[in-house]
Amino acid sequence: MHKNVYGKNPSQKVEDLTKNRKGQTTPKNNSLNWWDYEIGTPRALTNTLLLMDDMLTKDEMKNYSKPISTYAPSSDKILSSVGESEDAKGGNLVDISKVKLLESVIEEDVDMLKKSIDSFNKVFTYVQDSATGKGRNGFYKDGSYIDHQDVPYTGAYGVVLLEGISQMMPMIKESPFKTTQDNATLSNWIDEGFMPLIYKGEMMDLSRGRAISRENETSHTASATVMKSLLRLNDTMDDSTKTRYKQIVKTSVNSDSSYNQNNYLNSYSDIAKMKKLMNDSTISKNDLTQQLKIYNDMDRVTYHNKDLDFAFGLSMTSKNIARYENINGENLKGWHTGAGMSYLYNSDVKHYRDNFWATADMTCLPGTTTLNDMPSTNTKNDKSFVGGTKLNNKYASIGMDFENQDKTLTAKKSYFILNDKIVFLGTGIKSTDSSKNPVTSVENRKANGYKLFKDDIEITTSDVNAQETHSVFLESNDTKKNIGYHFLDKPKITVKKRKSYW
């Protein structure tokens, strides 16, 4: 390596950073972001020290790592830096145990190493039915993943959790201690939690919470993180599971030519593993799968149709599941994303990744019935009748008793999956706000690349205002992207073309 690969005087910079640290003896400030003090900064520090192992003495490394124990004294607790500590769960537990494990390597502390591994093993549990508050965070038996107590988050915090596990397990394998967890639990999370949410290299946005509002963190980057995590975990699994995961990864990477997942790998190890897999002719790609998954514990539905190669997603809300999350200045327009929003995935693999959330009309999202409003509050739906049942991975009946944020709009929504058709029904749609009429939105789709037909007649104008309609058809040059919409009666349909920006 070049002599200045770490910059000039790197050891002096690390010394200055740790020597000038503040807050060791000052009162705890609960207005600070605990994550930076207990996970973010310690993670960066331990990685830096281990990378500079050949440039620092053992005493220097131990001295520079001292601040970690000040802010993160335990491998299974968080919030120690800002107030009274609490048990770490999910991704936070994996992250804090990893920080302490790396610290134990630097400190050459075997007891700390064992405690870190013991803490890590606690993550492999399911949320109990009786759980309340923060105890609701984590994986459920049906594959649901909840974080922040009531937000479906498989595609964001769940991905962080899986990536952390994929980093920890290979390290633990090289230690004198072993994980006590049953790989069957982790495999179940992957098979039931993650895989039904991934289609053509894309993690469905209905599971990504406020992350949908991040321009540079797309549904495809989330899926790519899952895939590289599976490759890392291969070395810790039995032979049959290794082969299955490799097939999943190869299939996902090859399913979307518009997004090269390999270009977003930033670890030499990940790059080498992926290159080896792509060049391994003994690992075949998977065929299309027929799968229908109802996540009753997080009010989500996903469906993969094998014959027509499309997928469908449904995002609902109840007294147990939040409509949406908006914190840290993110997802400020997510008002209706949990109000029965539907997602249709086909061969137009860039549809949701290509600035969908910046352009879509957030007051009229697909499948939702709203007052075309921007609610000022984020109160929960008080209704509990939300969920569904399925048959043979081809048929399902789903229902949602819905009310809006200020309780001025109510509706009973039903959804039927009938193999190659998805049927939406609404009844009891009532508004007590005389100034606003309920509006049910059918779709928000990219205009470019499609011809629009209304009742078999092509529409060439940008807008269609309140015309009775029996059917709408979106025709593409690629027949696999074609979409048809049929209406049981003849409602008055409005079509609008819009542009927007992040």
Q: Which residues are catalytic?
A: 148, 157, 210
As a whole number of angstroms, the distance between CA 15 and CA 330 comes to 36
As a whole number of angstroms, the distance between CA 316 and CA 338 comes to 5
As a whole number of angstroms, the distance between CA 189 and CA 166 comes to 13
Give the tokens for residue 47. Answer: 């990685």
H helix or E strand, kind and range, residue 458:
strand 457-459
Place of tokens 């400190």: 107
What number of H helices and E strands is found in the chain? 13, 23
* Cβ neighbours, 10 Å, residue 229: 22
As a whole number of angstroms, the distance between CA 58 and CA 296 comes to 52
Distances (CA, A) of 156 to 51, 197, 308: 28, 12, 29
Give the tokens for residue 497. Answer: 């073309």
Are 260 and 209 spatial neighbours (Cβ–Cβ below 8 Å)? no
Place of tokens 């409003």: 373
Are 293 and 302 spatial neighbours (Cβ–Cβ below 8 Å)? yes
Are 81 and 28 spatial neighbours (Cβ–Cβ below 8 Å)? yes
Buried b (16+ CB within 10 A) or exposed e, 413-426: bebebeeeebebeb
**In sequence order, which residues have a C-beta less than 8 Å from that of residue 385 and are 6 or more positions away?**
318, 399, 400, 401
Are 132 and 120 spatial neighbours (Cβ–Cβ below 8 Å)? no
As a whole number of angstroms, the distance between CA 332 and CA 321 comes to 18
As a whole number of angstroms, the distance between CA 501 and CA 154 comes to 27
